[in-house]
Amino acid sequence: MSTPSKIGPNSIIQTVAALESAYGTAKAEAVLNKIGQGHFFGNLPTEMIEESKFHAMVTALQKEIGDTATAGILKESGERTARYLLKVRIPGIFQKLVTLLPHRLGFKLFLFAISKNAWTFAGSGKFSYSMSRPPEITVIVTYPTHPVVGNFYLGTFTALLQELVNPNTKIKADIRQDNNTIHCNYRCEI
């Protein structure tokens, strides 16, 4: 039997924070309790988590508050994750280097670096990017979940690319489900 794939705890931490920001503390706690995720309130993970925990939260939120509200929560969760990465995980010298490069070169260097640690957010899925025109980022989620999960990655990539590559970056997301696989394709106007 294989070991379950793990992802970073910010998937849960920032989703709870975004839910709290959107609904207030009392309602966020009530929603989490109602969907069987109340154990996270006041007890957030501090180390890598099994990806199943994040995907269970995504699916439960989608069933409880719907696609649009969940998409908004997950997009903000991704943006919050990006701010955390910029503050704590991505070395300042690397950030400075990427911001000094021409946009396409900065995109390529940044995504190359991201690809080395993609397992921390893709879990058992796959991550890739291409330097097509426009450049694209692809995340394939192979763990059973709801397509709305693609908004988490959208928020993360948008915030990171706007901060490091070009503040005017815009991403067009194409998120599709094929059986139990979610294909997230992000066309990046940098």
Domain limits at 173? 6-189
How many domains would you assign to the chain? 1
Q: Is the peptide bond before 134 cis (omega within 30 degrees of 0)?
A: yes
Q: What's the confidence (pLDDT) of residue 1?
A: 61
77 assigned to some structural domain: yes
89 assigned to some structural domain: yes
136-141, strands of its sheet edge to edge = 126-130, 136-141, 181-189, 170-178
1 assigned to some structural domain: no
161 assigned to some structural domain: yes
169 assigned to some structural domain: yes
44 assigned to some structural domain: yes
CA trace torsion 149, 64, 48, 18 (10° rounding) = 80
35 assigned to some structural domain: yes
Q: What is the pLDDT of residues 30-77, one digit of tens each?
A: 999 999 999 999 999 999 999 999 999 999 999 999 999 999 999 999
Strand-strand pairing, 170-178 and 136-141: unpaired
Q: What is the pTM of this model?
A: 0.96
